Structures are given as structure tokens and as C-alpha cells.
Amino acid sequence: MSTSLYRRCFGLVFDGIFRKNSGRKAYLFSTEAKGSPLFPGARTRWTEELKFTGKENYEPIPVYRVMDRQGRVIQDSHNPNLSDDIILGMYEKMLYISVMDKILYESQRQGRISFYMTNSGEEATQIGSAAALNISDVVYGQYREVGVLIWRGFTIQHIADQCYGNSDDLGLGKQMPVHYGSKQLNFVTISSPLATQIPQAAGAAYALKGTNRVVICYFGDGAASEGDAHAAFNFAATLDCPVIFFCRNNGYAISTPTDEQYKGDGIAARGPAYGINALRVDGNDVFAVYNATKMAKTYCLTENKPVIIEAMTYRLGHHSTSDDSTAYRPIEEIKAWTSDSPILKLQTYLKERDLWNDVKEEETLERTRKEVLKAFYAAEAKLKPKWTEMFGGVYADTPAHLKKQMDDMRAHMEKYKEHYPLDKFTQA
């Protein structure tokens, strides 16, 4: 971008100075060593063969898995050997997400909340990666990562309060539903602009170097096309940031299939081009996701370098409540992936080991439904924050011009209060 003539000129001047001051060293410079070129821009060899380098020159990156489609561990040495309690915890949280999603999706359809986005089909990417980290590790997300929060202890009440924007919402009702955040859980508040969090995650990781904490940053296959993704990968590599870039490649960005999103070997293949180690995993296999994230974290901390994980999965639900995905993809495709869902895979694994059965499943579903509905009705009944909170938090303090605008609004409200939905809001 800013390749100005000026910048080049300046370089020349400084070059001149450098040469003047170290003139005797100058002749030591060479442009070739042992028959290889010494261009500053790359370490490589000469060739006299004129040939393109392209996808044909190498194999696509394989997908790492631990379980097969029936939930059987293929190689015992790759079983993370988590305790039964932890695995059951993982399964119950995944189930929890799906129940919650159903209820909140329906409530939007009924007009009770303005917007919602489900997580169907991607529960294992969220839970598997969250389980491999500590709460002290910082999370930057996109919007389809509620499982990470739930794993960390974010309650259904937190979620319902945020979707309703009531006075208990940690975000004070300022953002759309699904834009969660929790300082306590080190989950940076979600924002709508795609991929903006990726370079931020690199910066956060740089700041946290040496504190034994890593940063994980989630984004979708579509967001990876943004310039911010490119900037972030490059910054993280050149500045040695202990950050895990976790791509949820679910096949679609709203209606856009991946073959209209990129022509390379997905997102993982970009890693080596930036000098970043990459992993590609089965995003529907909670153990594979867990192992990959665990290994990435260890590497980040020992090497102070970034990792890219690409979790291959499928977006079972619509993009959001504003989208009907049957308009752009065959129902058969959705059906096929439904029978290969991460929840079913882990369920089979648990059933084979007698840790789960249909009775438990029904009980859990029923209990969860009740819990979600209870929180949901409670959130619905709560008042919204004071309207004056609209002016809060723009700056650390309220500047004079904002105070004035608030006072003007207050005077107006006195006069026209019957035209505002004041009964739903805490009294200002």
C-alpha cells in the first residue's frame, strides 16, 4: 500500500550512510553461495527448468481423526484418555447447546427475540477446543462459538439475558443477540464485522508472551477471505505470537459454498505460506479437535509461535434466523450430514462403553429443556436497562457534548414520554 517513492529514497540515503561507515565490509557481500542465489527475499536454489508451482505439485492436507463415523477410536494411542466424567461433560454440553439452539431459534420465529444463530453440526469444534484450554487462555470469537463460553461456565441465564438485552445482560443491551462476551471467562465480546478479531488476537497473544497463556481465535471459512485474516497470519508469524487460529470450515458462508470462496486447499494450506504450522482436523470428532488444540497450545507456549487449525465440519442449521438455507443447498446434503453429526458420533462412543443410554438421553433432554425455558422466561420478564445507558461507555468518562445530548433527550422525554416504550425499561 504505502510503497512511496519517498520511502525508497530514504532507504537509498540510509544505504549510502551504511556503506560509508562500513565501507570495508561492503566487499564481503556476495550474491551467491555454494551455487545458490542469495536474494534477500527467499532461501532457495537455482533451477533451469521452467515450471509452474501449483496444487498439482503436492497432496492436499489430510484430515486428522481419532474416531471413525461410528464413533470407534481407530488407533488407541490417539485416544486422549479423558476421564469418563470429562467425556460425559463434553457430551452433555454439546446436547445442551443443541437444545438451547432449538428453543432460542423458535423464540425468534415467534418474534420474542430479534435474531439468533444456531451452532448445529459444530458443537464438537467448540467443546473439543475449549476443553483443551484453560480459562486463563483468552478467546476471540466470530459468533458461532457459544459452546466455548458454555464450557467455561457461561450460564443459560447469561445467554438469555444477552439475547433479550435486559438489565442483567453483561453487554447492557447494546448489541444484537448472540454477541456474547465475558471478562471473567476471558472471552472477548463478539462483534459483527467479520475477521476483525483475528489481528486483535495476534496482538493480544504478543502482549501475553511469557505469561504461560495462549490466545485462541475462531473464525469461519468465509471470514478467512477478509484482508484482516491475511494481516493477522502474517503478523503472528513475523512477530512470533502464541496464538491458535481456529478456522471452522463448515462449507458455507451464508449461501456461498467454499468453491466460490477459495480455490486453494482450504485454509490449512495457507499456513505454511505464512510460515505457520497448520493442522486439519475432523471437526465432527471431539477427540480429534481436543488433541489438535492441546498440541497447538503446547507448541505455542514452547515456541512462541502461531498455529492454524482448520476444523472440517458442516453447517447443519441455517446461517441465521434471517436465512433459509434450502434456497441454496440440497436438503439431501443436509440430511446426510445430520446422520454424521458430532453429537451422534460421541453418543455412539459413549453407548458402546455403557456410559450412556436412551433413558439418560431423554432425561437430559427434558431437564435441559426445562432449564432453558426457565431462564428464558426469566430473561423475558426482566426490565431493560435505563435508557440513559445508551450514552454510557462511549468513553471512559462522559464528555460534555454527550452530557448535553442526554439532557436534551431527558427534556424531550418529559414532554413526549407516552410515545416511548418506557414501561419495558428500568426507570432512569
Partner 1 sequence: MALNKTVNRICSLCSKSPIGLLNNVAKRNSHFVYTPDANLPIQGKTEKLNMFQAINNALDITLRTDKTAMVFGEDVGFGGVFRCTVGLRDKYGKERVFNTPLSEQGIAGFAIGVANMGSTAIAEMQFADYIFPAFDQIVNEAAKMRYRSGGQFDCGKLTIRSPAMAVGHGALYHSQSPESYFAHTPGLKVVIPRSAIKAKGLLLSCIRDPNPCIFFEPKILYRAAVEQVPVEDYELPLGKADVLTDGKDVTLIGWGTQVHVLLEVAKLAKERFDVSCEVIDLVSILPWDTETVYKSARKTRRVIVSHEAPQTCGFGAELCSSIQEECFLHLEAPVTRVTGFDTPFPHIFEPFYLPNKWRCLDAIEKIMNY
Catalytic residue IDs: 106, 192, 319-320
Q: How far is the CB of 195 from partner 1 (least distance, A)?
A: 9
Q: What span, in angstroms and rounded, lies between the C-alpha atoms of 191 and 28?
A: 53
Q: What span, in angstroms and rounded, lies between the C-alpha atoms of 143 and 156?
A: 16
Among 208, 244, 316, 346, binds partner 1 (CB under 8 A): 208
Cell 465480546: give the residue: 189
Among 121, 128, 177, 181, binds partner 1 (CB under 8 A): 181
Of 407, 258, 224, nearest in space to 328 by CA: 258
Q: What span, in angstroms and rounded, lies between the C-alpha atoms of 173 and 183?
A: 16
| Phi, psi dihedral angles at 9 (to 5 degrees) | -60, -45
Cell numbers standing for residue 222: 468465509
Residue 16 touches partner 1, criterion: CB under 8 A: yes
By residue count, the chain amounts to: 428
Among 123, 161, 228, 285, binds partner 1 (CB under 8 A): 228
Among 191, 225, 258, 388, binds partner 1 (CB under 8 A): 191
Q: Please, are residues 228 and 256 in contact by the beta-carbon 8 Å criterion? A: no
Q: How far is the CB of 394 from partner 1 (least distance, A)?
A: 5
Residue 277: in which H helix or E strand, if any? strand 277-282
Q: Which of residues 239-268 bind partner 1 (CB under 8 A)?
A: 239
Q: Which of residues 135-164 bind partner 1 (CB under 8 A)?
A: 138, 140
CA atoms within 13 A on the CB side of 110: 7
Toward partner 1, which CB reaches closer, 359 or 396? 396
Determine the interface stretch with partner 1 among 145-153, 172-180, 324-332, 339-347 (rule: CB under 8 A): 172-180
Indicate the pairing of strand 243-249 with strand 215-220.
parallel
* Strand segments (E) across 180-254: 187-188, 215-220, 243-249, 252-253
Residue 200 touches partner 1, criterion: CB under 8 A: yes
Determine the interface stretch with partner 1 among 38-46, 49-57, 177-185, 255-263 (rule: CB under 8 A): 177-185
Q: How far is the CB of 210 from partner 1 (least distance, A)?
A: 10
Toward partner 1, which CB reaches closer, 253 or 288? 253
Among 94, 117, 146, 204, binds partner 1 (CB under 8 A): 204
Residue 175 touches partner 1, criterion: CB under 8 A: yes
Residues contacting partner 1: total by CB under 8 A: 61
Residue 205 touches partner 1, criterion: CB under 8 A: yes
Toward partner 1, which CB reaches closer, 189 or 258? 189
Sign of the alpha-carbon dihedral angle for 307, 313, 314, 315:
negative
Toward partner 1, which CB reaches closer, 127 or 163? 163
Q: Please, are residues 305 and 242 in contact by the beta-carbon 8 Å criterion? A: yes
The 3-state DSSP class for residue 135 equals: coil
Q: Which of residues 376-405 bind partner 1 (CB under 8 A)?
A: 392-396, 399-402
Toward partner 1, which CB reaches closer, 70 or 136? 136
Toward partner 1, which CB reaches closer, 179 or 297? 179
Residue 240 contacts by C-beta under 8 Å, 6 or more apart in sequence? 206, 209, 304, 305
CA 127 to mean position of chain CA atoms: 12
Toward partner 1, which CB reaches closer, 9 or 26? 9
Residue 105 touches partner 1, criterion: CB under 8 A: no
Q: Please, are residues 104 and 116 in contact by the beta-carbon 8 Å criterion? A: yes
Toward partner 1, which CB reaches closer, 124 or 201? 201
Q: How far is the CB of 138 from partner 1 (least distance, A)?
A: 7
Residue 199 touches partner 1, criterion: CB under 8 A: yes
Cell numbers standing for residue 244: 491458535
Q: Please, are residues 282 and 65 in contact by the beta-carbon 8 Å criterion? A: yes
Q: What span, in angstroms and rounded, lies between the C-alpha atoms of 259 and 279?
A: 20
Residues that bind partner 1 (CB under 8 A): 1-4, 6-7, 9-10, 12-14, 16-17, 138, 140, 169-172, 174-175, 179, 181-183, 188-189, 191, 193, 196, 198-209, 215, 227-228, 230-232, 234-235, 238-239, 392-396, 399-402
